[in-house]
Structure 1
Amino acid sequence: MSTTAGTAPVAGAPTAGSGVWLHGVVVDADPATLTGIAGMDGRPTRVVRAAGLTAVVSAAPLAEYGEEALRRNLEDLAWLERAARTHHTVVDVLSRSGAVVPARLATVHRDDGRVARVLTERRAELVATLARLTDREEWGVKGYVVPGAVPRGAEASVGGGGAGAAYLRRRRAQLTAREEGQRIAADAAAAAHTALAGYAVAARRHAPQDRRLSGAATAMVLNGAYLVDQAAVAGFSALVGALADRHPELRLELTGPWPPYSFVMEPAGEPAHQVREPA
């Protein structure tokens, strides 16, 4: 896989003035479209062009987005959510007009010259990534356990030993059924992911979200991302429906399309920061 469009935040920069926040790299961008998209400072985004590529950027006041300020602000969940949503909005608009290589969250450069240098130095990999993403979309599929779909015959077992022993037997049967339900759902999730990955151009299986993040009543056992040809989206959606019928122990949820966050990699091989979790 290729790389994200940017590098680390500005290092050793003063806290006065403004840096350049990189949102993403495209082949070209319509100025009229960018005029209507607010960047990190609330003003319209703009472009930096070099080496036949276009970087979409916005001003990033160093008092808020400089190295020390970022280190502090990234620990503030409310600030982080606002910044991530602003960044995602720009990337999402770009993705609806064509292929985009999203920049990692909080990629701030000192000036336009540094952004142009990145485009020039990394032109080959950025061009290759844009070609791979052209006419393709990221779709998410999440799978949740459906407890009612798992038989609990063990709960009806009876035996001697009095009320206390009967309670313990029922409790043990409930726990066993719950564990068995989790195992069956996990196996179904693996099978569903294999089928979806076989249909997609590329696939990634992310760690399941905690219920506090997912907001779901039951555990998540599948959190997959799939790069799908735009012409094949209807078939992919139909496959999700077929898999849901085949695996009633899973509740499958299709989300998207999303910018290709899951299919852009850091130079060292680490996944790009996912700016917004598909929901």
Structure 2
Amino acid sequence: MTPLRYVYAVCRPLCAPLQAQLTGVAGAPARQLEHHGLVAVVSLVPAGEFGEEGLGARSRDPERSAVMSRAHQNIVDALTGVTTPLPLPPGMVFPDDSAVRVMIEEHEEDFRRALERLEGRVEWGVRVCLEAARASETESGRTREKAEEFACRLHEALSGQAEDSRLHTSRKMVPSGMPGRGVLDAVYLVPRSRSEEFVERVERVDRAEVGIQGVRVELTGPWAVYSFTGLEGITETTGSAVNAKNEESAEIAKTAEGAARSGARPHERRTAV
């Protein structure tokens, strides 16, 4: 059975080949497929495991989804270290190289505009959580209100240092295995050259600024620019109809939460105040 093409990201041509030891989904090495001056970073994957039925079964198995998302993220992280990739969601699979080229042609202008806009930029994530014991004591009280006020001030300050930001309200705000209640879950688009300044601002958070104890501030990144590509429609209009719309898989790929993400992030910092 002919292998399928699993696509991780689209970027500009790289100056050097990808590292031979860089492996992705199904343990397959990643390679560059260049077309019209753009590059799709792909791996060959077994059709039996990654065809429509295989991906469907994988999407219903959290452990297998986590393995795929972790491998997907490893490739995207490696690319982020050397270029500005436009990451695609986990599960974007095409029947052959020609189909990948067609996908590039169909979205060429979108890719070029996004690359121009996002060149040299990365994504940082910030969460504010109330620790479990504190949250349970103040179900509807002043403590949570103060935490929300602090989160609003922090988000406003960080948004002022970023070029763009997104608030996540639909996904689970507290990482798996970490007790507590989410108050803020946001991501920020920051030029790589100003990332140190952004990190220092988050790390300056102290107890006096919050005004209460039991608040945890978590910083993760730098990530590829998942939240700012504007390419969400690609999953609905391209590929072989096996493009996974698996929310759990995409969630794992975009966040640093849980054991499935352990060690996958270049930086993860937590400040309890």
Q: TM-score range, shorter-chain basis?
A: 0.7 to 0.9
Match of 1:105, SS state, is coil
Structure 1 match to 2:146: 184
Q: 1:75 to 1:49 in 2, by over 3 A?
A: same
In the alignment, structure 1 residue 255 sits paired with structure 2 residue 255: no
Match of 2:27, SS state, is coil
In the alignment, structure 1 residue 142 sits paired with structure 2 residue 105: no
Per-residue Cα deviation, 1:130-176 (whole angstroms, up to 9, x for no partner): 122211111111112268999xxxxxxxxxxxxxxxxxxxxxxx956
Q: 1:17 to 1:214 in 2, by over 3 A?
A: same
In the alignment, structure 1 residue 223 sits paired with structure 2 residue 185: yes
Return the offset for 1:261.
1.3
In the alignment, structure 1 residue 113 sits paired with structure 2 residue 75: no
Q: TM-score, normalised by structure 2?
A: 0.79
Alignment partner for residue 84 of structure 2, among 80, 99, 106?
A: 99
CA distance in 2, matches of 1:133, 1:268: 18
Match of 1:187, SS state, is helix
CA distance in 2, matches of 1:177, 1:47: 52
Match of 2:28, SS state, is coil
Structure 1: give runs of 5+ residues left out of the alignment: 1-15, 151-173
Q: Which has the larger radius of gyration?
A: 1
CA distance in 2, matches of 1:262, 1:48: 24
Match of 1:35, SS state, is coil
Structure 2: give runs of 5+ residues left out of the alignment: 237-244, 258-273
Structure 2 match to 1:5: none
Per-residue Cα deviation, 1:72-112 (whole angstroms, up to 9, x for no partner): 11110110000000111001101110110001110001110
In the alignment, structure 1 residue 200 sits paired with structure 2 residue 162: yes
Structure 2 match to 1:44: 29
Structure 2 match to 1:61: 46
Amino acid at match of 1:186: E
Amino acid at match of 2:218: E
CA distance in 2, matches of 1:119, 1:45: 17
Amino acid at match of 1:278: A
Structure 2 match to 1:264: 229
Greater displacement, 23-32 / 47-56: 23-32
Q: Are the counterparts in 2 of residues 140 and 278 from structure 1 also a CA contact under 8 Å?
A: no
Q: Are the counterparts in 1 of residues 14 and 83 from structure 2 also a CA contact under 8 Å?
A: no
CA distance in 2, matches of 1:99, 1:201: 16
Q: Are the counterparts in 1 of residues 2 and 47 from structure 2 also a CA contact under 8 Å?
A: yes
Per-residue Cα deviation, 1:111-143 (whole angstroms, up to 9, x for no partner): 100111111221111011112221111111111
Structure 2 match to 1:84: 69
Q: TM-score, normalised by structure 1?
A: 0.77
Q: 1:268 to 1:135 in 2, by over 3 A?
A: closer
Q: Are the counterparts in 1 of residues 167 and 185 from structure 2 also a CA contact under 8 Å?
A: yes
CA distance in 2, matches of 1:241, 1:233: 12
Q: 1:39 to 1:238 in 2, by over 3 A?
A: closer
Structure 1 match to 2:268: none
Return the offset for 1:237.
1.8
Greater displacement, 39-48 / 115-124: 39-48
Match of 2:24, SS state, is coil
CA distance in 2, matches of 1:38, 1:235: 33
RMSD, aligned α-carbons: 2.7
Q: 1:20 to 1:181 in 2, by over 3 A?
A: same
CA distance in 1, matches of 2:158, 2:134: 22
Amino acid at match of 1:33: L
